[in-house]
């Protein structure tokens, strides 16, 4: 008889699986056919395991269909690399200082969330070091049409009470109940520290463990799910920059839902939506001097910057 389980850790052939009913964690090896190609097992996958009493071990017999995938296309090898599955959320972590808050990086993470089809939680971390480097409410306002949720925290100080936003660490914890989230952001923003804070100190900086598995290569990536009470988090190794070069230029606008509304009204096809094109749906916004227009234009700027990047990679390399 087979039992449903979830893969919470992968190490090439051996997987830690958590049995759905008893929550017991067992090690299992996989049937060879489940280790190949695009469907190769990843953390987050639900599988059916059977206990082999002769060999005294669990075996993964089959895998359930995935609800979604955290993936990127490896442009040069043109193949799709799936790193985790069945996530509900992307937690995009930014920091008030060291490293400084960067809109462009956050916008890239939001593009990924949209592409993967997961909701975005945006965390402003290290708010204990916040000294008016940027106006946090403006940043939230700027992203109000992307359907995200925003949190103000200081992972180093779990007692920190938010001063600008309605949501802090407690609300984050609450809204995570029953969910699986992947935690992403630039190196040093405090992803691991945040996970530790969310666990109430039960989890000690999981990145330390992860970096051993993913040693220096950015192909082996998320390898472990950390279970915290009623929710699960996947830490990820920090990135210097969040590359989105594998996205097809024609798809990009959909991943900016706030701009997409305007772009679909533009009467030109293949429009670059630049200031110099009267008749472009964005043209009036360039003329407007309102803060609303400014915020939208800063999103358009991110879009155009990413567009340049994705257009410089030949399309055929993005297929797999």
Ligand X SMILES: Nc1nc2c(ncn2[C@@H]2O[C@H](COP(=O)(O)OP(=O)(O)OP(=O)(O)O)[C@@H](O)[C@H]2O)c(=O)[nH]1
Among 72, 273, 295, 318, which residue sits at the site for Zn ion (rule: CB under 5 A)? 273
Among 207, 221, 223, 302, which residue sits at the site for Mg ion (rule: CB under 5 A)? 207
Q: Give CA–CA dist 197/173, Å, rounded.
A: 10
Question: What is the number of other CB atoms lying within 10 angstroms of the CB of residue 312?
Answer: 9
What, of Mg ion, ligand X, Zn ion, none, does residue 271 touch, CB below 5 to 8 Å by kind? Zn ion
Q: Give CA–CA dist 147/172, Å, rounded.
A: 16
The answer to whether residue 280 forms part of the interface with Zn ion (CB under 5 A) is yes
Contacts (CB under 5 A) with Zn ion, residues 230-269: 266
Q: Give the residue with the Cβ less far from ligand X, 130 or 262.
A: 130
Q: Give the residue with the Cβ less far from ligand X, 51 or 134.
A: 134
What, of Zn ion, Mg ion, ligand X, none, does residue 33 touch, CB below 5 to 8 Å by kind? none
Closest CA to 208 of 165, 170, 238, 185: 238
Q: How far is the CB of 258 from Zn ion (least distance, A)?
A: 15
Q: Give the residue with the Cβ less far from Mg ion, 174 or 241.
A: 241
Q: How far is the CB of 226 from ligand X (least distance, A)?
A: 12
What, of Zn ion, ligand X, Mg ion, none, does residue 266 touch, CB below 5 to 8 Å by kind? Zn ion
Per-position b or e across 93-130, b if 16+ CB within 10 A of its CB: bbbbeebebbbebbbbbbbbbbbbebbbbbbbbbbeeb
Q: How far is the CB of 94 from ligand X (least distance, A)?
A: 10
Q: How far is the CB of 18 from Mg ion (least distance, A)?
A: 23
Sign of torsion, CA 160 164 166 172?
negative
């Amino acid at each position: 008889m087979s039992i449903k389980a979830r893969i919470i850790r992968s190490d090439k052939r051996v997987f830690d699986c958590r049995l759905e009913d008893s929550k017991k964690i067992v090690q299992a090896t996989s049937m060879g056919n489940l280790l190949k190609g695009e469907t190769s097992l990843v953390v987050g996958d639900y599988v059916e395991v059977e206990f082999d009493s002769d060999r005294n071990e669990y075996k993964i017999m089959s895998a359930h269909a995935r609800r979604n995938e955290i993936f990127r296309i490896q442009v040069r090898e043109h193949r799709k690399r799936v790193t985790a599955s069945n996530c509900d959320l992307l937690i995009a972590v930014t920091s008030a200082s060291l490293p400084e808050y960067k809109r462009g990086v956050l916008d890239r993470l939001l593009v990924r969330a949209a592409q993967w089809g997961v909701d975005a939680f945006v965390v402003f971390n290290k708010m204990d070091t916040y000294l008016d480097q940027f106006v946090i409410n403006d940043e939230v306002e700027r992203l109000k049409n992307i359907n995200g949720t925003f949190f103000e925290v200081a992972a180093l100080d779990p007692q920190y009470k938010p001063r600008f936003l309605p949501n802090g660490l407690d609300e984050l914890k609450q809204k995570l109940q029953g969910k699986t989230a992947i935690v992403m952001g630039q190196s040093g923003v405090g992803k691991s520290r945040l996970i530790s804070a969310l666990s109430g100190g039960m989890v000690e900086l999981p990145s330390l463990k992860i970096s051993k598995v993913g040693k220096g290569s950015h192909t082996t990536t998320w390898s472990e799910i950390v279970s915290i009470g009623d929710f699960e988090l996947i830490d990820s190794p920090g990135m210097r920059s969040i590359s989105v070069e594998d996205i097809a230029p024609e798809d990009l606008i959909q991943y900016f839902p706030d701009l997409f509304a305007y772009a679909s009204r533009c009467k030109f096809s293949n429009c670059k939506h630049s200031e110099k094109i009267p008749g472009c749906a964005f043209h009036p916004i360039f003329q407007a001097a309102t803060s609303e227009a400014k915020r939208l234009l800063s999103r358009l700027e991110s879009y155009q910057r990413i567009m340049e990047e994705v257009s410089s990679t030949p399309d055929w390399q993005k297929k797999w």
